[in-house]
Structure 1
């Protein structure tokens, strides 16, 4: 009887991290829309620059902690945070700060999802028959290419790319590595936009966040996507299984 009573509690406890993240995401969408915004950055830019000049290390650490929280709790403002990293720290080390913080936040939400649902769901998919099992087998056979692909394609929402791998049993090391490397191109683009915000502010304009879809930027990223899919194509032709 004792063991039977413990099982449901244990199952419910596993859902706590996901429930907290979901609640934080909803509250953040309602309460932080005007707090973490381009307008807020514009209005406080002088104070931010002054504080950075006086306390560079504290500013860098605080910025990364805020960015990790935004990603880990799926809060609004990740794009603004990336722009801020470029504005405060330049393309380098701004890109390092942005990519590093985004990766840490992604790993945290990945672990929460895997602990709450991922392990059980992956096990059920492995034990299932028919279409579900074939889908899981296809994902397992091409994990590296698919992980890089969902990071490189700009149309894939970041939180989706964080949750799906956890739900299909991807290893943490693979997820962290593919996340860090896969978000570098996009992170570099938006960090460079942020690095030029000083001139944008002076002209009273807003940054062009659609720049990543410009041909001279999008085509190289699509080239990386094609490169990521190449192993999948080769395996389909040769019939070899991936790892």
Structure 2
């Protein structure tokens, strides 16, 4: 019964939220339509430059993504959405995945070689916990942390750099761990690029993309919990 009430409350809250957004946007629809037109025109101009300079566009995007993602600023989500909007789903997905992994590697190496003392001073206890998790669960320890947004991207990367984890394992697990999120965000970015009219905001594809973004953290937590439970069972059986 409580679970059913929770579902009803969540659905009701979502409906109320969508209605509230609609009423909030209603008075400013003309201005919003004008802004959407300008944004779409700018995007088309940018895509025209991309078509004329494909190699430069790809290299520039991956380079900016790598630098921004390696810094302690929340840029990864915005850059992935931009990749889907600017390059389309598949190309945006591949480039965003490459930029994310490269940014993670840069942060990992910074934590291991350049910022070791600083990171150890502030995150020493968490690094020790990560080492114990890796000793106990192996690659699944990092995978569960990648799936859930428990730690900021930059923090987890630099912590991993000071742990016992090898760079090869870090790259493989990071690629697998961020892939589901990249798929959802690239898809959402692609849908955002197709918004030309105010009515498109409430179209089924964009609503589905927003719903997927909202649901992903819950699904990721469930997957992470299942991974930890299975690992714990295997550990007990091994004993």
TM norm structure 1: 0.66
Give the match's secondary structure for 1:221.
helix
Residue in 2 that maps onto 1:109: 107
Relative distance call for 1:47 and 1:237 in structure 2 (3 A) is: same
Q: If each structure's helix is expressed as a fraction of its own residues, which one has the higher value?
A: 2
Bigger drift between 148-157 and 81-90 goes to 148-157
| 2:190 pairs with 1:174 | no
The change in CA–CA distance for 1:175 and 1:47 in structure 2 (over 3 A counts) is same
The answer for the alignment partner of 1:95 in structure 2 is 93
Unaligned runs of 5+ in 2: 1-37
Q: Is the counterpart of residue 198 in structure 1 residue 198 in structure 2?
A: no
The alignment covers a number of residue pairs equal to 194
Shift of 1:115: 1.1
Residue correspondence of structure 1 range 54-203 to structure 2 within 5 A: 54-116=52-114, 118=116, 136-203=131-198
Q: Which ranges in structure 1 are unaligned for 5 or more consecutive residues? A: 1-39, 126-131
RMSD, matched Cα: 3.5
Q: Residue 154 of structure 1: SS of its match in structure 2?
A: coil
Deviation of the 1:228 alpha carbon: 3.0
Q: Secondary structure at the match of 1:200?
A: coil
The TM-score normalised by the length of structure 2 is 0.67
| Cα distance between partner residues in 1 of 2:128 and 2:89 | 44
> 1:185 offset after TM fit, Å?
0.4
